[in-house]
Protein backbone atom coordinates (compact mmCIF):
# COMPACT_ATOMS: atom_id res chain seq x y z
CA UNK A 1 0.00 0.00 0.00
CA UNK A 2 1.10 3.57 -0.66
CA UNK A 3 1.43 6.25 1.93
CA UNK A 4 -0.71 9.25 1.00
CA UNK A 5 0.43 12.80 1.59
CA UNK A 6 -1.66 14.82 4.00
CA UNK A 7 -4.25 16.96 2.16
CA UNK A 8 -2.58 20.38 2.72
CA UNK A 9 0.71 19.07 1.28
CA UNK A 10 -1.12 17.68 -1.77
CA UNK A 11 -2.79 21.05 -2.32
CA UNK A 12 0.51 22.91 -1.94
CA UNK A 13 2.25 20.54 -4.36
CA UNK A 14 -0.56 21.05 -6.92
CA UNK A 15 -0.36 24.83 -6.49
CA UNK A 16 3.39 24.77 -7.09
CA UNK A 17 2.92 22.54 -10.14
CA UNK A 18 0.22 24.88 -11.53
CA UNK A 19 2.39 27.95 -10.92
CA UNK A 20 5.34 26.33 -12.70
CA UNK A 21 3.10 25.46 -15.66
CA UNK A 22 1.74 29.03 -15.73
CA UNK A 23 5.30 30.40 -15.81
CA UNK A 24 6.15 28.10 -18.73
CA UNK A 25 3.05 29.20 -20.65
CA UNK A 26 3.80 32.86 -20.01
CA UNK A 27 7.38 32.46 -21.23
CA UNK A 28 6.17 30.64 -24.36
CA UNK A 29 3.57 33.31 -25.06
CA UNK A 30 6.03 36.17 -24.65
CA UNK A 31 8.55 34.38 -26.85
CA UNK A 32 6.04 34.18 -29.72
CA UNK A 33 4.81 37.77 -29.54
CA UNK A 34 6.48 40.50 -31.54
CA UNK A 35 5.71 43.44 -29.29
CA UNK A 36 6.83 45.93 -31.96
CA UNK A 37 4.15 44.49 -34.27
CA UNK A 38 1.54 44.68 -31.52
CA UNK A 39 2.39 48.33 -30.84
CA UNK A 40 2.34 49.17 -34.55
CA UNK A 41 -1.03 47.46 -35.08
CA UNK A 42 -2.48 49.21 -32.04
CA UNK A 43 -1.26 52.59 -33.28
CA UNK A 44 -2.65 51.93 -36.77
CA UNK A 45 -6.06 51.01 -35.33
CA UNK A 46 -6.05 54.11 -33.12
CA UNK A 47 -5.09 56.29 -36.09
CA UNK A 48 -7.88 54.83 -38.28
CA UNK A 49 -10.42 55.38 -35.50
CA UNK A 50 -9.22 58.98 -35.11
CA UNK A 51 -9.63 59.57 -38.87
CA UNK A 52 -13.14 58.07 -38.79
CA UNK A 53 -14.03 60.19 -35.77
CA UNK A 54 -12.81 63.34 -37.51
CA UNK A 55 -14.75 62.43 -40.66
CA UNK A 56 -17.90 61.84 -38.60
CA UNK A 57 -17.47 65.21 -36.87
CA UNK A 58 -17.06 66.95 -40.23
CA UNK A 59 -20.13 65.20 -41.63
CA UNK A 60 -22.24 66.17 -38.61
CA UNK A 61 -21.05 69.78 -38.89
CA UNK A 62 -21.95 69.84 -42.60
CA UNK A 63 -25.36 68.28 -41.91
CA UNK A 64 -25.98 70.92 -39.24
CA UNK A 65 -25.02 73.70 -41.65
CA UNK A 66 -27.20 72.15 -44.34
CA UNK A 67 -30.17 72.01 -41.96
CA UNK A 68 -29.62 75.66 -41.03
CA UNK A 69 -29.56 76.64 -44.72
CA UNK A 70 -32.76 74.62 -45.31
CA UNK A 71 -34.46 76.46 -42.44
CA UNK A 72 -33.43 79.84 -43.88
CA UNK A 73 -34.68 78.85 -47.33
CA UNK A 74 -38.05 77.82 -45.88
CA UNK A 75 -38.42 81.27 -44.29
CA UNK A 76 -37.95 82.97 -47.65
CA UNK A 77 -40.35 80.73 -49.58
Q: Are 19 and 27 in contact (CB under 8 A)?
A: no
Note the pLDDT of residue 46: 96
Q: Tell me the pLDDT band of 44, cut-offs 50, 70 and 90.
A: very high
Q: Tell me the pLDDT band of 5, cut-offs 50, 70 and 90.
A: low
Note the pLDDT of residue 76: 80
Cα–Cα nearest to 33, from 44, 43, 25? 25
The secondary structure element, H or E, covering residue 76 is: helix 35-76
- Kindly report the pTM of this predicted structure: 0.43
Note the pLDDT of residue 74: 84
User: What is the phi/psi pair of residue 33, to 5°?
Assistant: -100, 130
Note the pLDDT of residue 15: 92
Note the pLDDT of residue 42: 96
Amino acid sequence: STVEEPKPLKKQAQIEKDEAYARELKAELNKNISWDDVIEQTYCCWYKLKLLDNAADSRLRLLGQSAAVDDKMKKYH
